[in-house]
Structure 1
Amino acid sequence: MAAPPLPSHHHRCFDWFANPNAAIVAVDASQPVIAPGQPGRAATAAAVIQRGHARIRVHKSRWVVGNVSVPDAELSAVSTGILQALLLDDIDEINILTDSSTAIDRILDCSPHLGQQYSLAACDALEPWLEANPDHIIRIYYTPSDRRWGYLPIHAEAHELVCGLQVPGNVGGGKMTIDKFKKQADASALKAWTDQFESPSYHGHNFLVLGTLDARSLSSHGSSLHSPPFLCGSLKTPEIPKTPMRLLRFP
């Protein structure tokens, strides 16, 4: 009995191995799930590269992405895998294997999104390579890890490689976002401003001190970006004289 024909994607995989100038790049990312109360772990990524025909592994690497989401780490993995494949000599075909559909959607999208820097890096590197020869091509394949692609052990190798890298992350478990960076910058500016203007050596005699209606001086507060420049001091609001006043009329 003849064996059933292989699916079309199997044929394409074997085409990779028939091309000696093809780079097969398997990438993966991970962020270990930690029990509540335990220190967090940074997201990590890995890439394993083989050349077609001889199926020789020519490169493997893993790295720390940081306190980011798993989709961002996957995007870092795909982008770095592309950059590393382009460093190989005489490569005319790049085949990326990833189990992240989000990374596939975003890797060639340069519009604003989380992890945009990885998309920009990949596009910037691919543009001259694709323009250099019309035969150059890149393919990105969605390879779910639960499918157990036995004929592609390179993907399992990338998964084992990334899972072997455990790095402590932000103990607070939070992700560093643009909003967090902005808040930290505001807090730093506020502290520096407050320290400077509350220093007696900086006050001098030309500074005015604003007071409240109940004779208390206003405390220094606000940021250099949004709030008015209130200065702190010890002067009190002068008392209003309580003597009666007459209205004078002039002819």
Structure 2
Amino acid sequence: MASHARPGHRFRDRYWSRIHFEESLLPLTEDRNFELYLNFIADMFMSDDGGLCVGTDASVYTNATSKKHTQSVAAGVLFSQGVEVNRFRWLVGRTTAPDAEQSAICRAIEGAVKRPCRHIAIFTDSIASAKRALDTSLHLSQSHSLRACKVLETWLEDDPLRWISFHFVPTKLKWRYQHLAHNYAASAYHRPVDFGSRVTFDRLRSESDSRIALRWAQSVANRPQHLGRDFLQLTTLGKKPKPTWSEAIAAHGKNKFLLWELGNTLRDVII
């Protein structure tokens, strides 16, 4: 196990007071409230000589069942004192959206710590990917997290006044730095996947699940007589499936003997 991945020694365990994940915007349902708060945060960082704002996003080819796969693109744009100082964009291979988002955030961290700054604000539409980027425990993208945490640890140790924050930005808001990164990633050429392309396990699992779901759908279409036998047919979309015997239980709920018989039957079926 890597030294950074041991419980109690993990990066976020040791620097918890200097790493902030801003999720308080989630209760603000109005887009205007989101935008006002984000503008306030960005202006606060841009007015500071040591502030740095980074917008990140990724563009993923989402048709997992297609035979023509293209590589995902991760991008980021760095701003200091209201001026763009750097931007990056690269192919990350055949990945899922969370994998590509995490790759963009890790790359943003590596690029931001090279700039002369004390405060880093990363704006992303996936706080979960940001937390995963700083999660050194065992997971499928642990190597990227370890590398990002290593460079960030060195940056934090050099100055006790340094800190980093991650801010959630809804994509539909099309807000400043994050929207620039979104357009930069979306405008990139999606290169077809070749033999040298990187592929993540999450993407392979997603493609496998999609193929299985498609096969089941085709089986239902080809054999409609099996509906209600081999497959579950949902008549009320958006609601939880309800067993047909639930009404019988409700009708005979006071009959303890019937409930006892039903319990024994279910136990025998499960065993």
TM-score tier by shorter-chain length is 0.5 to 0.7
Q: Which residue of 2 aligns with 1:68?
A: 95
Q: TM-score, normalised by structure 2?
A: 0.56
Equivalent positions of 1:236-251 (< 5 A) are: none
Structure 1 segments of 4+ aligned residues over 2 angstroms from their partners = 6-13, 32-38, 166-172, 174-181
Q: Which residue of 2 aligns with 1:167?
A: 190
Equivalent residue in structure 2 for 1:124, among 141, 150, 153: 150
2:56–2:181 Cα contact (<8 Å) kept = yes
CA deviations on 1:34-76 (whole Å, 9 max, x unpaired) are 4964511111100100102xx1101011000001111011000
Decide which moves more: 120-129 or 99-108.
Answer: 99-108
Superposed displacement of residue 146, structure 1: 1.4
Equivalent positions of 1:1-251 (< 5 A) are: 10-34=39-63, 37=66, 39-52=68-81, 55-88=82-115, 90-149=116-175, 153-170=176-193, 176-177=199-200
Q: 1:177 to 1:29 in 2, by over 3 A?
A: closer
CA deviations on 1:226-251 (whole Å, 9 max, x unpaired) are xxxxxxxxxxxxxxxxxxxxxxxxxx
2:71–2:93 Cα contact (<8 Å) kept = yes
Aligned alpha-carbon RMSD (Å) = 3.0
1:29–1:74 Cα contact (<8 Å) kept = yes
Q: 1:143 to 1:177 in 2, by over 3 A?
A: closer
Q: TM-score, normalised by structure 1?
A: 0.60
Superposed displacement of residue 8, structure 1: 5.3
Q: 1:159 to 1:107 in 2, by over 3 A?
A: same
Number of corresponding residues? 170
1:39–1:168 Cα contact (<8 Å) kept = no
1:106–1:119 Cα contact (<8 Å) kept = yes
Partner secondary structure for residue 88 of structure 2: strand
For CA contacts below 8 A with separation 6 or more, give which structure has more relative contact order. 2
Q: 1:148 to 1:91 in 2, by over 3 A?
A: same
Unaligned runs of 5+ in 1: 182-251
Unaligned runs of 5+ in 2: 1-32, 205-271
* Whole-Å separation in 2 of the counterparts to 1:16 and 1:106: 24
Amino acid in the other structure paired with 2:144: Y
Q: 1:122 to 1:177 in 2, by over 3 A?
A: closer
More helix by share: 2
1:69–1:175 Cα contact (<8 Å) kept = no
* Whole-Å separation in 2 of the counterparts to 1:12 and 1:175: 36
Q: 1:50 to 1:177 in 2, by over 3 A?
A: closer
Amino acid in the other structure paired with 1:137: W
